[in-house]
């Protein structure tokens, strides 16, 4: 990641099956919903919901709440002290302990109240809906959030956001960093803004619909939102996931192979087994001492995980760096990927648990700077 301006990690999450292609980087992560930005332009009242910034988002499913804030005519306030201009002034400290389960529509509704346009990690809850269906869904979500104590209605009939949840929504809507961790067929998103850190994980995904619209409301996903106490807690969450089964370094030297060779080796591993995969790696000039161990890991991995740190060098730009972990019977590899021109390359570096932890902390360093 240190040498690549944008390191893409789409192949790292699942070397046994993920193709290496220059696509949205996280679309191939296990269980990750696929970004469907093309449908967002159909949302009512959106001038152009298909933002150029979407092309810079490596992987993330994106939900658009651009037009949906229009569904509530009541002004919004924050229940903490307000400045004279009516804008909430949050304290610089981190978030208090918060945890709750919300539908995708409820998350989008809450974020829209603090001006969110796009949400990283949330599958678009209004995809395929007509304008009146969107309005009804947001009205329903507003009522649910009131019952959960996240929102309230004051005497002036304004929607009032609980101060802690207001800051959580701001973190979700405009993070400085987003960390995406994929492991064990689960994907978690961590949003960092100033001293606030928020974790999001989908608890259920709707099955893909053969009919793009109208989309039944029963297909809305459920998400678990939770605050983390500090940056150390984020470090612990990521390292414990990626280093869960990390052992001794795998044998041999580092192996650097093209994405085409990697995809061919994985296909051979699935269809014909270890020796066929080893043959592909051997033809590519891989070191004999390590290729047998890697071929075996491609057939039968003990663990496979990845982390991507997305930062924002500008308001409409995203930059990503990633690290993958593959654990086989013979040891552990750290995986990094980069593009040279139009060609993807993957480096498999033998590593132990402690060096792996150091690389993870290096990957997450921008989060501590936010």
pLDDT digits (tens, 9 = 90+) for 71-92: 333 345 544 333 333 334 333 4
Least confident of 7-16, 89-98, 307-316: 7-16
Question: Would you say 295 and 277 are in contact if contact means Cβ atoms under 8 Å apart?
Answer: yes
- Report pLDDT digits (tens) over 115-174: 888 889 888 888 888 989 999 999 999 999 999 999 998 888 888 998 899 999 999 999
- Report pLDDT digits (tens) over 331-348: 999 999 988 888 899 999
% of residues, the chain, pLDDT over 90 = 49
Least confident of 207-216, 308-317, 361-370: 207-216
For 188, other C-beta atoms within 10 Å of its C-beta total 20
Residue 359 makes CB contacts below 8 A (sequence gap 6+) with: 323, 334, 351
Strand pairing class (255-258; 222-228): unpaired
Confidence band for 94, pLDDT divided at 50, 70 and 90: low
CA max distance for the chain: 75
Prediction pTM value: 0.73
Rounded average pLDDT over 63-78: 40
Q: What pLDDT does residue 28 have?
A: 30
Question: Would you say 166 and 78 are in contact if contact means Cβ atoms under 8 Å apart?
Answer: yes
Is the pLDDT at 49 greater than 50, yes or no?
A: no
Burial of 185 (0-12, 13-18, 19+ CB in 10 A): exposed
Least confident of 162-176, 211-225, 306-320: 211-225
Rounded average pLDDT over 309-324: 88
Least confident of 52-66, 94-108, 204-218: 52-66
- Report pLDDT digits (tens) over 269-297: 989 999 999 999 999 888 888 889 999 99
């Amino acid at each position: 990641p240190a040498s690549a301006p944008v390191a893409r990690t789409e192949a790292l999450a699942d070397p046994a099956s993920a193709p290496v292609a220059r696509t949205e980087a996280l679309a191939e992560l296990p269980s990750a919903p696929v970004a469907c930005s093309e449908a967002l332009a159909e949302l009512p009242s959106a001038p152009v919901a298909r933002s150029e910034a979407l092309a810079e988002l490596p992987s993330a499913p994106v939900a658009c709440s651009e037009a949906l804030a229009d569904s509530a005519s009541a002004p919004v306030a924050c229940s903490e002290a307000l400045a004279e201009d009516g804008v909430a002034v949050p304290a610089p400290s981190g978030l208090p302990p918060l945890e709750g389960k919300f539908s995708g529509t409820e998350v989008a509704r809450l974020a829209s109240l603090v001006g969110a346009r796009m949400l990283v990690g949330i599958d678009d809850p209004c995809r395929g809906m007509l304008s009146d269906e969107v309005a009804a869904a947001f009205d329903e979500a507003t009522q649910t959030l009131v019952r959960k104590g996240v929102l309230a209605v004051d005497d002036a009939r304004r929607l009032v956001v609980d101060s802690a949840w207001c800051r959580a929504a701001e973190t979700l809507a405009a993070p400085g960093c987003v960390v995406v961790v994929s492991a064990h067929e689960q994907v978690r998103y961590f949003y960092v803004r100033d001293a606030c850190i928020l974790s999001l994980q989908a608890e259920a995904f709707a099955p893909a619909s053969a009919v793009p619209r109208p989309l039944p409301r029963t297909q809305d996903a459920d998400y678990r939102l939770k605050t983390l106490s500090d940056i150390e807690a984020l470090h612990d969450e990521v390292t414990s996931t990626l280093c869960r089964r990390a052992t001794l370094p795998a044998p041999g030297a580092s192996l650097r192979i093209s994405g085409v060779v990697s995809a061919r080796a994985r296909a051979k591993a699935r269809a014909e087994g270890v020796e066929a995969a080893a043959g592909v790696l051997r033809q590519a000039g891989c070191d004999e001492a390590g290729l047998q161990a890697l071929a075996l890991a491609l057939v039968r991995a003990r663990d496979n995980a990845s982390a991507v740190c997305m930062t924002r060098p500008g308001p409409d730009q995203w930059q990503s760096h990633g690290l993958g972990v593959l654990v086989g019977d013979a040891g552990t590899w750290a995986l990094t990927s980069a593009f040279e021109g139009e060609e993807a390359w993957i480096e498999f570096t033998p590593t132990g648990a402690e060096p792996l932890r150091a690389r993870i902390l290096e990957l997450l360093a921008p989060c501590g700077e936010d």
